[in-house]
Amino acid sequence: MQIFPRELNYLPLIGALGAAIAGGVVVFVFWYFFSPKNLQVGYSPEQPINYSHALHAGDLGIDCRYCHANVETSQEAMIPPTQTCMGCHAVVEAPTEAGAAELTKLRDYWERGEAIPWVRVHKLTETAYFDHSAHLAAGVGCVSCHGRVDQMEVVGVREPLAMGWCLECHRDPEPSLRPRDRVTDMDWEPGDEAEAALVADISTISPPEHCSGCHR
């Protein structure tokens, strides 16, 4: 006499299919929702002083290189020392009460001889090598990686700083290139003359696509 119904023979198959589907869902969730595009993009940490790039780089038109002075010659873009800020704000006052409060913080750091503990926004993994100077020398504009900083009250990550994203540009760098004297120009748009110059320059640029190019 049969104790268990014959349908129970399908339980191992149903269990295997369920496990496969659940595994696929878990892989998709981690692949999509835990990707740099979702985990990095939008990161805008609170800073010790509310510094407005929209005001300084946008309204006032201060060039990126005034504060990030060594970006054309160094691997990293220097975080400006307090002395750079005081070069202007030793005499320049803020037009608003909120701005005056932030200037008070700045001058307090200066008087105490302390560096402002800025929170780093763009950070690559320590296993990757990135050279700012090489990219600027090739004609890659700041906007390509950092977005329209001149429109940001609070700077945040606008692009996923991931290997796949970098390789897309290395394989087809031309859309990110511009004349080398316009790398910090946030409003620059390609024109006919500029495009012709870039096409002529593209032959001299060969971004690495092999592992040792970024992992040294």
What is the per-residue pLDDT across 11-27, written as a single tens digit (0 to 9) for each? Answer: 777 778 878 887 776 76
202-211 mean pLDDT: 86
CA distance 160 to 157: 8
Continuous H helices in 34-78: 36-39, 53, 64-67
Q: Which of 15-19, 97-101, 120-124, 184-188 has the lowest mean pLDDT?
A: 15-19
In 39-74, which positions are buried (b, 16+ CB within 10 angstroms) versus exposed (e)? ebeeeeeeeebebbbbebbbeeebebbebbeebbee
The Cβ of residue 15 has, within 10 Å, a number of other Cβ atoms equal to 10
Residue bearing the bigger pLDDT, 65 or 200: 65
Question: 12 is written with which tokens?
Answer: 């191992």
Residue 132 vs residues 115, 117, 163: alpha-carbon distances, Å: 23, 22, 16
Q: pTM for this structure? A: 0.75
Residue 115 is predicted with a pLDDT of 92
Query: Rg for the chain (alpha carbons), in Å?
Result: 25
d(CA 183, CA 141): 4
State the pLDDT at residue 76: 87
Of 13-27, 95-109, 183-197, which range is least confident?
A: 13-27
Question: Mind listing the pLDDT tens digit for each residue in 111-150?
Answer: 999 999 999 999 888 888 999 999 999 999 999 999 999 9
End-to-end CA distance of the chain: 70
pLDDT one-digit tens code per residue, 45-64: 999 999 999 999 999 999 99
